[in-house]
Structure 1
Amino acid sequence: GRGPLCFGRDLWPLISKEVQCVYYEALLAARDEAPAAVARFAAAFLAAAPGRAEEEVLAAAGIGEGSRWDWEALARPYGSRVFADAAQFTSWLRSHLERDVAQARRGNVRGPLKAALDVLRDLRNEIRLAVDHGGLSGHSHRTELEGWYTPLNAYLSIGPPAGRVEEMLALMEAGVLEVSLPGIRVTAAEGREGEGAGFVGTSALVPGVRVRAGALIEARLPEMDLRRTDDPLLRCLLASGQCRPYRIQDHETGGLAVTRSFHLLDAGGTAHRRRFAYGVPTESVHWVTAAGIRPGVGSVTLEDSDAIAGAVLALPAPARTAAGGPGSGGDGARHPGRPGHEEVRP
């Protein structure tokens, strides 16, 4: 009853506590602590307030400073380090990847680090329940969820399997693959004597080093933004007022606005009876829509698609016009206010 949640205040402390607890449980189990002792530790740790109380529980369990969870070290493994040259960065990166593979080979059940990071995946559905459909304030959604936690979650819980990382290391060792600079900034470069036009990469973490290439491939998954899309269908719907960007208080997102039953909302907020949208186009209404389907888990993607299919099958057959085309049942692309644009209860 107190209004939208604040991610940093209301959700992050719970997420962090759960992740850390799983890490310490696996750490103690790896030390051959009795299951009952591990369970007592978990109960005490979960009940302890962050700060001194947690530290006392950890100390009592014999978990020293060097073995404790460190979000900052995980999020920024190179810390405040500045590299002398690209070779020094490459050497550091190879060592870092080798350590990460070693952690992965311990598994995500007995290996403390990977078991803990798996919690970030396990909690996705629960986080969605809290943040979807304006669960957060506009400011918290923009700065804390989209601007901080979503990229942190992706970095720590999404990535290639250990075998692929080992293949990458082998290619680096053989000189086939050269890794670019960390935190790279790329700018277009004009041609000069002996070189054609291309691109130049620089990094504040490797001062004075410039990497030049003749071609640049944008391989990242683009952020969903209805206002900048080149998809002809979405552009047409937006231009004609048949859809709108999703808004959370004063924060307009790039996601496609839909009701809780996935009906498309027009510029005036009216839901279309026969138009549905889910998945990546609705990012911001829903959280991490690009995440893959996990085995053995009630996948939001599959459950949502099943609900939409059921709703479509339950619709009455559209009326036919005298000319044999769609009638007023809501088929076809119509402008707001015309037949077929019916109000649907969200």
Structure 2
Amino acid sequence: MTIDRAPVPGTHEDRKSIVLIGGGPRAALVLERLVANRPALFDGPLAVHVVEPYRPGSGRIWREDQSPLLKLNSMASDVTMFTDDSVQCAGPALAGPGLVEWARGIVDGSISDVHIPDQDLARQIHTLRPTTFPTRRIQSLYLEWFFHRCVRALSPQVPVTVHQDLAVHVIAEGGGYEVTLSTGIVLRADAVVISVGHTDSAPDTESTRHVDFAARHGLFYAPPGYTNDVDFSDLQPGQEAIVSGMGLAFIDLVVLTMEGRGGSFVEAPGGELRYVPSGNEPVLWAGSRRGIPYRSKISSELCGEPAGTPRYLTAGAVAALLEIHDQLDFQQHLWPLLAKDAALGYYRELFTGHPDRVTLAWADFLPLFDATAWYSDERRALVARSVPEAADRLEFEEFDHPLADVSFSGPEDLQEKVAEHIREDLRLRDGGANSETLGLFLGLLHVYFELARLVPPDALTPASRGLVSGWWHGFFSYVDSGPPARRLRELLAVHQAGYVRFIGPQLQVAADEKAGLFTASSPRVPHIVSATALIEARLPSPSMTGSVNPLLKSLSESGLGCEERTGRDPGTGSTGRLLVDSSSRIVAPDGSTRQGLYAVGPATSGWSGGAFSRPNSNAAPFRDSDALARRILTDLAEAPETQDVFSSTRLAASITVLHSSLA
């Protein structure tokens, strides 16, 4: 394919110009929606510039150049980049293959425009099945192919110029914007969309103390970061390391430091795995708030009634709340509705798929459940008399913190109880006989996206915005976005081999200045772990002022943007995210917005449901991208004529890099 050259310095084109800063999957979705909506909304000359230091389509997180051991935590059948007929949006759906169909097209020759760089990826594509958890390298190829397809759909009417560069500054100029790149290029834009994804941040106060402590005592310290990009080469075989965090970054860490260092797994009797070490492994002591890893992905299928749409979190319910309250409190007003809908998905499948485990028919249970509030004695009593086994009853506080009421006699007792929790989670979610767990998964998934559709962020109290970006997103990830079951079986195997040990819930990390060691403990377990290494297994917290991304810092310094606050006063706390309104427009410190300046993704206060999603799920990223693309095109159609100006003394070097990187 051909991506058009940028205009020659000093020349002008009578084109409106859109600059997408960040070229990962979220930007690619916006580009695809521009393709779909342009014929109906904007028929004038248009140019698109994409600024992405890595390859467009995949970006940094999904780039092909990463460990071949790292995988998606979604099955291949649950991945698509195409807006299908299920998506409730104003723009037209443009059909296209999800990941499984794309791989089949490559195999049968109907898709021939994919460059496969090595035999390992070719083998993966040929063996990909709907239930496969694909590698991130396969996903990278799919995302880049999708991006190139979008470009082909626009050209030659709309030239797309990709700058393999970093945007460092945006200013408002002459009714539009000027975007300055690190190479000195200045792009003139009528509309700017910032979609920089997960960005690194400078160490916060605590991390800075750890950095200084490690330097003084010759210790290893890894601050929060994308696991694949962290250099663990100084972590020595047999070295003990405290790991703070047990989410997906922790799972990736285990993969890279165990199998990634030459270890392997063999099938053991009973379907379990046995780890065969290479001798290069460190020993990881892992802890977190919960003290357990995320719940595994589910292998069962629904046995009862199909999953329904939310019944309690509805447009009518939200409108009724907003008639009473100026702003909504997440915990008081919204969570009881979310919890009840998620539980409804669980109980619908339990009652209709496993009637031998309940005492009431679903038709009798549902109206009684409708009539009770989530936090009520009536609801608890109804469930108690309808569901005989206590283990089959769902209480989210217990589900969120399953070790909260467990007593530990010592560190070895903790090891066994955490391992037993993981085994039980695998039995329920990967055994095939407990499909009610899939009912919960789907119920929670539906309300996660429905909340984003029905409740704009600015309808929430400031404190609730922090709760949504913190606890709510974390809880959803813990339940619905955990690792493949295989990864937890591997975790059990390396635990049994002695290379992963558990610290417990409510992890507390400290630095022992006298001993010159990091320490970790749980208030629930009478044991202190001392180690010569500390690893923060999580992505950096979002921060505009602390971001290493110069663009986010410049938005704050220039006054074009500001951080989302968790209180009403300027001096109150912050989520660290770039504040946007319900239309994805960037909000200035005085509360104003500017036409044509937008931001989306995890660096912003807007609802972030990821980029790609499940087919036929009316996924929020597709709805939001469609609305944004239509907003941009409508604004461009109504704006006065402007010129697309491109100027730099280093233009030729950028074009050379562009063409070599996209060859």
Q: TM-score, normalised by structure 2?
A: 0.43
1:244 equivalent to 2:562? Answer yes
1:256 equivalent to 2:581? Answer no
Shift of 1:253: 3.9
Match of 1:128 in 2: 452
Q: How does 1:176-325 map to 2 (within 5 A)?
A: 176-190=499-513, 192=515, 197-207=516-526, 209-247=527-565, 250=568, 252-283=574-605, 286-289=606-609, 293-312=613-632, 315=636, 318-319=642-643, 325=647
Contact 2:578/2:603, CA 8 A, preserved across alignment: yes
Q: What one-letter code is carried by the residue in structure 2 that aligns with 1:231?
A: N
Shift of 1:312: 4.8
Q: Using the alignment, how far apart are the partners of 1:266 and 1:116 within structure 2? A: 39
Contact 1:21/1:46, CA 8 A, preserved across alignment: no
Q: Using the alignment, how far apart are the partners of 1:167 and 1:223 within structure 2? A: 28
1:74 equivalent to 2:399? Answer yes
SS at match of 2:586: strand
| Among candidates 372, 385, 403, match of residue 48 of structure 1 | 372
Shift of 1:62: 5.5
- Bigger drift between 129-138 and 156-165 goes to 129-138
Contact 2:584/2:628, CA 8 A, preserved across alignment: yes
Match of 1:8 in 2: 331
Cα separation, partners in 2 of 1:19 and 1:303, compared to 1, 3 Å: closer
Contact 1:225/1:253, CA 8 A, preserved across alignment: yes
Contact 2:456/2:582, CA 8 A, preserved across alignment: no
Unaligned runs of 5+ in 1: 327-346
Q: Using the alignment, how far apart are the partners of 2:480 and 2:613 within structure 1? A: 14
Q: Using the alignment, how far apart are the partners of 2:334 and 2:536 within structure 1? A: 33
Match of 1:30 in 2: 354
Q: What one-letter code is carried by the residue in structure 2 that aligns with 1:168?
A: L
1:113 equivalent to 2:431? Answer no
Shift of 1:148: 4.3
> Aligned residues: percent identity?
28
Cα separation, partners in 2 of 1:80 and 1:24, compared to 1, 3 Å: same
Q: Using the alignment, how far apart are the partners of 2:622 and 2:464 within structure 1? A: 28
SS at match of 2:415: helix
Contact 1:278/1:304, CA 8 A, preserved across alignment: no
Unaligned runs of 5+ in 2: 1-322, 649-663
SS at match of 1:275: strand
Contact 1:103/1:114, CA 8 A, preserved across alignment: no
Q: Using the alignment, how far apart are the partners of 2:404 and 2:388 within structure 1? A: 23
Residue by residue over 1:8-49, the C-alpha shift from the partner in whole angstroms, topping out at 9 and shown as x without a partner, is 332222222223333333223313489x93233223222234
Shift of 1:257: 2.0
Q: Using the alignment, how far apart are the partners of 1:84 and 1:295 within structure 2? A: 47
Q: Using the alignment, how far apart are the partners of 2:342 and 2:552 within structure 1? A: 39
Contact 1:7/1:140, CA 8 A, preserved across alignment: yes
Cα separation, partners in 2 of 1:21 and 1:301, compared to 1, 3 Å: closer
Q: Using the alignment, how far apart are the partners of 1:31 and 1:82 within structure 2? A: 34
Q: Using the alignment, how far apart are the partners of 1:234 and 1:258 within structure 2? A: 13
Match of 2:76 in 1: none
1:98 equivalent to 2:423? Answer yes
- Bigger drift between 242-251 and 13-22 goes to 242-251
Cα separation, partners in 2 of 1:254 and 1:130, compared to 1, 3 Å: farther
Q: Using the alignment, how far apart are the partners of 2:420 and 2:343 within structure 1? A: 25
Cα separation, partners in 2 of 1:233 and 1:140, compared to 1, 3 Å: closer
RCO greater where, 1 or 2, for CA within 8 Å and sep 6 or more?
2
Cα separation, partners in 2 of 1:10 and 1:219, compared to 1, 3 Å: same
Q: TM-score, normalised by structure 1?
A: 0.77
Where is the strand percentage greater, Structure 1 or Structure 2?
A: 2
SS at match of 2:533: coil
Match of 2:71 in 1: none
Q: Using the alignment, how far apart are the partners of 1:62 and 1:265 within structure 2? A: 49
- Bigger drift between 3-12 and 264-273 goes to 264-273
Shift of 1:105: 2.0
Cα separation, partners in 2 of 1:141 and 1:309, compared to 1, 3 Å: closer
SS at match of 2:556: helix
Q: Using the alignment, how far apart are the partners of 1:190 and 1:114 within structure 2? A: 48
Q: Could you list the runs of 4 or more consecutive aligned residues of structure 1 that deviate by over 4 angstroms after TM superposition?
A: 288-292, 309-314
Q: Using the alignment, how far apart are the partners of 2:421 and 2:504 within structure 1? A: 15
Contact 2:448/2:476, CA 8 A, preserved across alignment: no
Q: Using the alignment, how far apart are the partners of 1:154 and 1:138 within structure 2? A: 22
Q: What one-letter code is carried by the residue in structure 1 that aligns with 2:428?
A: Q
- Bigger drift between 263-272 and 69-78 goes to 263-272
Shift of 1:306: 4.0
